[in-house]
Amino acid sequence: MRTAAPTQVHVPMNDLALQHATIASEIEEVIRETVQNCSFILGPATAAFEQAYASFCGVDHCVGVSNGTDALTLALKCLDLKPGDEVITTPHTFGATAEAIGHLGARIVFADVEEDYLTLDPARVQEKVTDRTRVIMPVHIYGHPADMDPLKEIAQASGAALIEDAAQAQGARYKGEVVGSLGRAGCFSFYPGKNLGAYGDAGGITTSDEAMATRMRSLRNHGQIAGGPKFSYAELGFNHRMDGLQGAVLGVKLPHLDGWNARRREIAQRYEEGLASVDGLRLPSVASWATPVYHLYVVRCDNRDGLAAALKARQIDTAVQYPMPLHATPAFHDCGAAMGDLPVTEKACEEIISLPIFPELEDDRVDLVIEAVRDFFGA
Ligand SMILES: Cc1ncc(COP(=O)(O)O)c(C=O)c1O
C-alpha cells in the first residue's frame, strides 16, 4: 500500500480573515454602534480616527477620505495646479500616484529610482526640475521611506511642494519621524490589504497646514465649508468623504498597527537570515535613514518567473508589484519618457518578485518559503 504524500500547506500573500479573527469582537461592537447611530458618512467614529491618526503621524490634522487615490487628488487640488505645471514622481509605483496628477491637468514627469531601495532618486529628481516644477511626489514604496531630506532641499530650492504618497507605508519612519509628517501633506490608502486596512475603500491625508486641512475638508464634501451653511459651495468640490463604518474599523485597528508592523519586520529578519547566503538572489536593502514596515517583501533575481512557478508548485503564492514601469503602459505613454530613459526602474521590473508577508504569517510558513526558495536556487 502506498502512503499518501504529506498534504502541502498553502502559503498565501495575505489572509485578512486571520487578522479579523484577532479583533472580531471589537469590530462587531463598533459596527453595531455606528449602525445604531446611523452615522454612515464621516460621523463621530471617523472624526475620532482622524484625530488618532494625526497624532500617530505627529501632525495636526488628518482628513478622512474615500480612498488613497482621492487623498492624492485632494492634496494636489489644494496646490491649484495649472495646465503645464509639472509634478515629478516615480514610475515605479501603483498607477494611482500618476493618475491623480494627470486628472488635475498637470504634467507627469518621471524620475528614476535608487538602485538599492527603489524609491525616488534625489539626483535624478534634480535633473528633472524646471521652472514649471510645482510638486515633488515621492512614494514610500513597499513600506520603505524615500530619502526625504535631499528631496526637501530640492523642493525648497525650486519652490515646489513635497507631497508624500505614503499609501504603502503606514507607521514607517524616516530618521525617526513617522511618514506622512515629512512634507506639506502625506497621502494614505487604507485599502483592505494595506498595513492599516479598512473593510472597504478608505484613505486619509495628513498635514500640519491648517489652511490646507480646512480646504480639503471642504473639497471632500462638494466644496461646502465644514461648519458653514449647507448647500453653499465655496468652490467645485468632490464627493470624497470617508464612510462612518470605515472610520470605526480603522479606529479599532490603529492601536494594533505598531505591533503588526513589528511582526512584519520580524518576518523580514527571518527571510534575511534564511536567504542571505543564496547566490543569485537579491534581498531588499534597508537604508540607514529607514525604519521600514514591509508592506511587501520584494526580492530580485534573473529568473523570477521560474521562481514563481517553483513556489506555486509548492502551494506558495507570490506576486509581482509591478511588472511594468508606468511609462511603459498606455495611459502614461505621453509623459515624455520612453523605454530606455529610466533604466533602474525598467531593470527592476523584470527582476522583482514579492514573497508572502503579513503579521499573522507564522514562522513555520515563513520557513516553508525559505526552504522552497533555497531549493530553487540549489542552495
Ligand atoms: C503607492 C500607492 N499610491 C496610491 C494608491 C491608491 O490607493 P487606493 O487604492 O486606496 O485608491 C495605492 C493603492 O494601492 C498605492 O499602492
Q: What pLDDT, in 10s, does the model give residues 284-294?
A: 999 999 999 99
CA of 168 to the centre of ligand 1 (A): 7
Q: What is the mean pLDDT of residues 51-59?
A: 98
Q: Which of 323, 312, 317, 310 is nearest to 379 (CA)?
A: 310
Q: Could you give the 3-state DSSP secondary structure of residue 218?
A: helix
pLDDT over 80 (residue 7) = no
pLDDT over 50 (residue 196) = yes
- CA 189 to ligand 1: nearest atom: 10
Q: Are residues 296 and 117 in contact, defined by beta-carbon separation less than 8 angstroms?
A: no
CA of 94 to the centre of ligand 1 (A): 6
Q: Are residues 204 and 247 in contact, defined by beta-carbon separation less than 8 angstroms?
A: no
CA of 203 to the centre of ligand 1 (A): 9
What are the phi and psi torsion angles at 229 (to 5°)?
A: -65, 140
pTM of the model: 0.97
Ligand 1: residues within 6 Å at CB?
A: 67-69, 93-94, 96-97, 139, 165, 167-168, 189, 191, 201, 203
> pLDDT over 70 for what percent of the chain?
98
CA of 296 to the centre of ligand 1 (A): 14
For each of the domains in the chain, give its residue range(s) and CATH number, in order of start.
17-255 (3.40.640.10), 257-377 (3.90.1150.10)
Q: What is the mean pLDDT of residues 46-50?
A: 98
Q: What is the mean pLDDT of residues 78-98?
A: 96
Q: What is the mean pLDDT of residues 218-226?
A: 95
Mean of per-residue pLDDT scores for the chain: 96
**Banded pLDDT at 242 (limits 50, 70, 90):** very high
Q: Are residues 278 and 379 in contact, defined by beta-carbon separation less than 8 angstroms?
A: yes
> Could you tell me the CA-to-CA distances from 372 to 51, 97, 307, 314 in Å, in that order?
44, 34, 9, 7
Lookup: cell for 67:
480612498
Question: What single DSSP character describes residue 339?
Answer: T
Within 13 Å, how many C-alpha atoms sit on residue 26's CB side?
14
CA of 96 to the centre of ligand 1 (A): 6
- CA 67 to ligand 1: nearest atom: 10
**Banded pLDDT at 331 (limits 50, 70, 90):** very high
Q: Which of 262, 267, 253 is nearest to 22 (CA)?
A: 253
Q: What is the mean pLDDT of residues 58-81?
A: 97
Within 13 Å, how many C-alpha atoms sit on residue 115's CB side?
2
pLDDT over 50 (residue 90) = yes
pLDDT over 50 (residue 140) = yes
Q: What is the mean pLDDT of residues 57-85?
A: 97
Q: What is the mean pLDDT of residues 66-91?
A: 96
Q: What is the mean pLDDT of residues 149-172?
A: 98
CA of 314 to the centre of ligand 1 (A): 30
> pLDDT over 90 for what percent of the chain?
95
- CA 190 to ligand 1: nearest atom: 10
- CA 168 to ligand 1: nearest atom: 16
Query: What integer pLDDT is reported at residue 2 of this predicted model?
Result: 46
